[in-house]
Structure 1
Amino acid sequence: MQLQDLEIFVQLYEQHSINRVAKLMGFAQSNITARLQAIEAEFGVELFTRSYQGIVPTENGKQFYQYAQSVLQATRKVRAQMKPDAVSKRHIVMSQLLFNLLVVQQKQYSLAQNTFDLLSSTEILALADNDTDVVVTYANFSNPGYQEIATDNLPASFVVAASQEEAQLPYLVNSDRHCPFRARTLRRLNHNMTNVQEIDSWDSIIKLVKNGLGIALLPDYLTAGDDFKRIDSKHRFKVPYATFTKVSR
């Protein structure tokens, strides 16, 4: 059992929904279920029961929640007290929306071992051969100085504020001309800019949508809470992204 298994369990206990936790943490629902089943098998107990309200912790589940919280708190305390070895850190260039998922939520990249620059797609496409150690981006990146080592997809949907209707709202797009979220939005509108507003900040776009002032194509992990709703449940999008490392010379 890994620390991330305990983090998943705590989220399940607090959210009461496997589907919601999968979206919040950026995992497939089947992965969350498998991790939970692995914990239950290891301890030989049932931690949750299913009901029309979602998942409900059993008495064993309540006890395990206290255990998980104590382990995670102790781990955070130990990490804070430890002095890291003096090692050189990797420099990683990453698209902003991927940083929030891969670093903040999923913790795939350690802040202690890496330094980060969050760049726009246009800035990433302009990188020189030796500008960074790792590139993680949904930009159409192609540079002979880097080799692709992994690919994945970022699920996304068109959303509005939960209390808002779609009618008459403008579509909000990032002003970065190489942003794939912008490109997919404009394709949806047949490149008609009449009802499009360009915003030079993802944080501002998210806040505007949350406050009922626009429609935007956003990653599902950002809109999994109760503040947003999809405007088209039949059409979902998968924005591809890739990881590149610097080629050794």
Structure 2
Amino acid sequence: MEVRQLNTLIRAAQFQSFSKAAESLGYSQSAVTVQIKALEEELGVRLFDRMGKRVILTAQGQCFLEYANSILDTIHNARRALSEDAELEGCLHIGTLESLCFFRLPGLMHQFRVEHPKVSLRVTTGSPEELIEKMERGQVDLICILDEPRYSNSWHKCNEIPEEVVFAASPDIDLGHPGPYRVAELLDKPFFLTERNANYRRTFDRFLASRQIELTPSLEISDTSFIIKMLERSSGISLLPRFAVAEPASRGDLRILEVSDFRLTMYRQMFYHKDKCCTREMDAFIQLASGPDLPLL
């Protein structure tokens, strides 16, 4: 019995597909089939039922999966104990949103690089759904998203930190009075919004729909930094995380509006898949991101 066979078993059970398991591990499909067959012959039981293109764990396979996870955890902990004092020098692949990458991640990444200069870092951006899919497929180590609270029995949630989402406007916008405002008072102004169905935009659309209000944005784009530039240079309103607009607002380049009838909190959340061994590099990043001195992610 080999460690690679156990990894292959876990990945095949996760995807319910030998071909997808092979893709995620960098193997050919035939290699996955050979490894699983060898494992079944050694154990003397059938681990998977083949149902068309899907493979489903048998009762014996489900039982053995628990042992496989336990064995790999024990091996990982043993390696970790032996190398606890060694300098980190592995790889770390993080998936995150564009807004978090641009406004939150640089300070955290800088500090991580100072503490662990030999670690090779890679960052991939995408929507929450895209990042979750990458995590499920084993294509990233950790994901950091901004969304309503997410849960799954397949994930380890490392943290959940509230983030206020606010209305931001051009500094010279004329709204008739200094506020606070109601949403209805803002709707005759140009709105620059993130794309439909994107986390906080989705919640705002639900709010408008509940009041039978239709809003056609003047601009829709996923790039938060572009929206901020548009607000700074032309009269308009947007709905953005406070962390993204706090600095330009402090300079007077943007104005944060107080709105009485719509308040929104999203949550920065960090996850990794339960079938993913938490490497020392991952653990160091999680500890840094969750520490009181660097509340960045």
TM-score range, shorter chain: 0.5 to 0.7
2:242 matched residue in structure 1 = 220
Give structure 1 regions of 4+ aligned residues with deviation exceeding 3 angstroms.
Answer: 105-109, 139-145, 193-197, 233-236
Percentage identity across paired residues of the two chains: 16
CA distance in 1, matches of 2:173, 2:157: 41
1:185 matched residue in structure 2 = 204
The AA in structure 1 aligned to 2:145 is T
**How does 1:114-153 map onto structure 2 within 5 Å?**
114-127=121-134, 128-139=136-147, 141=150, 145-153=154-162
The AA in structure 1 aligned to 2:220 is E
Gaps of 5+ in 1: 1-84
Higher strand share: 1
Partner-residue secondary structure (3-state), 2:138:
coil
Q: Which range is displaced more, 190-199 or 118-127? A: 190-199
CA distance in 2, matches of 1:239, 1:139: 5
TM-score (norm 1): 0.56
1:103 matched residue in structure 2 = 105
Aligned CA distance change for structure 1 residues 86 and 153 (closer, same or farther; 3 Å): closer
| Preserved CA contact (<8 Å) 2:172 2:235 | no
| Preserved CA contact (<8 Å) 2:125 2:131 | no
Deviation track 1:195-244 (CA, whole Å, cap 9, x = no partner) reads 56322422221111222342111122222221111232545432112110
| Preserved CA contact (<8 Å) 1:103 1:110 | no
Q: Determine if the alignment matches structure 1 residue 242 to structure 2 residue 269.
A: yes
2:16 matched residue in structure 1 = none
**How does 1:22-101 map onto structure 2 within 5 Å?**
87-101=89-103
2:225 matched residue in structure 1 = 203
1:173 matched residue in structure 2 = 193
| Preserved CA contact (<8 Å) 2:173 2:236 | no
Q: CA deviation at 1:148?
A: 1.1
CA distance in 2, matches of 1:97, 1:104: 11
TM-score (norm 2): 0.48
Q: CA deviation at 1:136?
A: 0.7
How much is the aligned-residue C-alpha RMSD, in angstroms? 2.8
Partner-residue secondary structure (3-state), 2:104:
helix
Count residues in correspondence.
Answer: 164
Q: CA deviation at 1:89?
A: 1.8
The AA in structure 1 aligned to 2:122 is T
Q: Which has the larger radius of gyration?
A: 2
Aligned CA distance change for structure 1 residues 105 and 219 (closer, same or farther; 3 Å): farther
Deviation track 1:56-100 (CA, whole Å, cap 9, x = no partner) reads xxxxxxxxxxxxxxxxxxxxxxxxxxxxx6822211101122223
CA distance in 1, matches of 2:110, 2:163: 15
Higher helix share: 2
Gaps of 5+ in 2: 1-86, 176-185, 277-297
Aligned CA distance change for structure 1 residues 86 and 223 (closer, same or farther; 3 Å): closer
Q: CA deviation at 1:159?
A: 1.0
Partner-residue secondary structure (3-state), 1:170:
coil
Q: CA deviation at 1:143?
A: 5.5
| Preserved CA contact (<8 Å) 2:99 2:223 | no
The AA in structure 2 aligned to 1:147 is H
Partner-residue secondary structure (3-state), 1:126:
helix
2:166 matched residue in structure 1 = 157
Q: 2:256 aligns with which of 230, 233, 246?
A: 230
The AA in structure 2 aligned to 1:116 is V
Q: CA deviation at 1:150?
A: 1.0
The AA in structure 1 aligned to 2:229 is K
1:21 matched residue in structure 2 = none
Partner-residue secondary structure (3-state), 2:243:
helix
Partner-residue secondary structure (3-state), 1:110:
helix
